[in-house]
Amino acid sequence: MAVPDLLQKDKVVVVTGARRGLGKAMALAFAEAGADIVVSDFVAADGEMAAVVDEVKKLGRRAIAVETDVTKQVQVEELMARAVKEFGKIDVLINNAGTGGAASVMNITEAEWDRVMDTNLKGTLFCSQAAGKTMMLQKSGNIINIASVGAYLKGTSPYAISKKSILSITQGFAAILGPYKVRVNAIAPGAVKTDMTRMFWENPKMLEHYVSEIPLGRMGEVRDIADVALFLASDAAKYVTGTSILVDGGILPANLPPRADFIRALRAESAKK
């Protein structure tokens, strides 16, 4: 019996939030595996998206950059239409675009609530709708949503609530698109070294405390998440849909989330400097 591999030869992959961090890592990982990439983000003027496109091309694959605000349905539809026009299909959509926020539901402002929910939920919804229509016609495809370990904790922030809701969106689209041979799954990362978690890994005291509570003894790297995305998009996961995979170094199974009081104290300490 042949063993399935993780190669993505000649697939077309759309990655949102791809100009840096986790999105960039996933775009490059799929390019290394043989895919052509549509690099999307809401900022293009700083040249970061163009740089990712250049890196993909150096790997011998085709790539384009499309500036997109995923909270705007019209722009999302234009993004997917551009992908089909340039490459003829969409094999994989990675809904990575997202934003954070630490305020609790008791003191969140309307504007801050809308910012988090619009990006994390409307963005995932609109992109899945638009790409899903193409995949239905193709009768093939994969959608991979980026949730968070926060979706499984008793989070009181709009960020945690939005990520928990992404699990529901994932299940909903999996049920609707399954008959068309389209699989929809989520990845729930723990703390990964990106700009969003910089306060963890640039603060030695905070990093030491956080890592001490991770059974595998380290923070995640962006490649840790990219490799799971490759798995979910491959034939090795051909019977996997409607689920979420935790990639958190064991922190949730060990029931050892970092103490909120400790993090608040370190934030306050950093703010004084």
- Which residues are designated catalytic? 159
Q: Please write down the HEC assignment for all residues of the chain.
A: CCCCCCCCCCCEEEECCCCCHHHHHHHHHHHHCCCEEEEEECCCCCCHHHHHHHHHHHCCCCEEEEECCCCCHHHHHHHHHHHHHHHCCCCEEEECCCCCCCCCCCCCCHHHHHHHHHHHHHHHHHHHHHHHHHHHHHCCEEEEEECCHHHHCCCCCHHHHHHHHHHHHHHHHHHHHHHHCEEEEEEEECCECCHHHHHHHCCHHHHHHHHHCCCCCCCECHHHHHHHHHHHHCHHHCCCCCCEEEECCCCCCCCCCCCHHHHHHHHHHHHHC
Residue 244 contacts residue 186 (beta carbons within 8 Å): yes
